[in-house]
Amino acid sequence: MRLVALISLSISLLTGCALHNYGDDQFQLRMAAHGKDIMWVPTRIDTATQMLALAQVKSGDIVFDLGSGDGVIPIQAAKRYGVRAVGIEYNPDLVALSKRNAIRENVQNLVTFKQGDIFVEDFSSATVLTLFLGESLNLKLMPTILKMKPGTRVVSNTFRMESWIPDQEVSVRSSETTVGTLNETIYLWIVPANIDGTWEFTGLPSLDKTAIRFIQKKQFFDGTINTSGKRSIAFEDGRIRGDAIQFDFEVNGKKYSFRGQISGAQIRGVLNGDSKLPVVAKRL
């Protein structure tokens, strides 16, 4: 289904090439049939700007586009938000085109285009990562992405990442193609901090010092509260958004909600939104 989406998107873009005029007098879309792992199919400018808006790009961000084609996403990031942006692209002709495009848009001081393989180059300094690569390439990148700094925003045009449920998705446009209506969706993931394991919590009601075992699945987790000898308390549906953590639990029939921040091996927060009920935890 997704492959059909990419093929029909490619056909509609390639046949509409003259209309959209991707490329310049030195290099055009029709010349770039082969990328390394996927061919060049450009993201439209309006979709690129919606991807950057979904990532909530702000001053100080560093945007990386993996497989950057003609550079549309890094160039729009620099143009609209004044941030630094980097494109990694395998095809040297596209790297050269991107550099010419950056000069035309007068953002050459903010953008860098690097010829290289996205599976070799380092993009760990990105605070925003953009992708238009296909689901299997997204999936291949996923283990590296999950090790990036918590809070890194990842936005993908059209393609998901299988088992990693997006934090948000937005339908940006639908268009008529030779194989029917193509709905274009963009997806956002926020790299979650890693909390999997056992933590010692201080400040929980009628439990005080207690161990909680978190079982994490990407941005979701379940937990078990060890109540020293008594029956342990299980809870579900905990959420992590970057460094922010939240979970709800019940002790002696009373409901509590915890909201806090993860900072390496420490978690700090409050119960029920009450600053007089502080809770801290350290990783065991």
Ligand X SMILES: C[S@@+](CC[C@H](N)C(=O)[O-])C[C@H]1O[C@@H](n2cnc3c(N)ncnc32)[C@H](O)[C@@H]1O
Q: Does 61 bind ligand X (CB under 6 A)?
A: no
Alpha helices in 105-240 (DSSP H): 135-146
Q: Does 65 bind ligand X (CB under 6 A)?
A: yes
Q: Does 42 bind ligand X (CB under 6 A)?
A: yes
Compute the least distance from the CB of residue 191 to ligand X, in Å: 19
Q: Single out the segment in contact with ligand X by CB under 6 A; choices: 23-31, 64-72, 139-147, 165-173.
A: 64-72
Q: Does 54 bind ligand X (CB under 6 A)?
A: no
Alpha-carbon distances of 131 from 75, 89, 142, 180, rounded to whole Å: 15, 12, 11, 24
Residue of 67, 203, 223, 238 interacting with ligand X (CB under 6 A): 67
DSSP state of 31: G
Q: Does 126 bind ligand X (CB under 6 A)?
A: no
CA separation for the pair 131, 123 (Å, rounded): 12
Which residues ranging from 131 to 160 are in contact with ligand X (CB under 6 A)? Answer: 132-133, 157
- The region that residue 258 occupies, defined by phi over 0 for left and psi between -120 and 50 for alpha, beta otherwise, is beta
Question: Is there a contact between 73 and 87 (Cβ–Cβ < 8 Å)?
Answer: yes
Q: Single out the segment in contact with ligand X by CB under 6 A; choices: 33-41, 106-114, 244-252, 269-277.
A: 33-41
Q: Does 38 bind ligand X (CB under 6 A)?
A: yes
DSSP state of 37: S
Q: Single out the segment in contact with ligand X by CB under 6 A; choices: 83-91, 98-106, 168-176, 242-250.
A: 83-91
CA separation for the pair 181, 179 (Å, rounded): 7
Q: Single out the segment in contact with ligand X by CB under 6 A; choices: 116-124, 160-168, 251-259, 273-281.
A: 116-124
Residue of 27, 119, 220, 235 interacting with ligand X (CB under 6 A): 119
CA separation for the pair 215, 236 (Å, rounded): 10
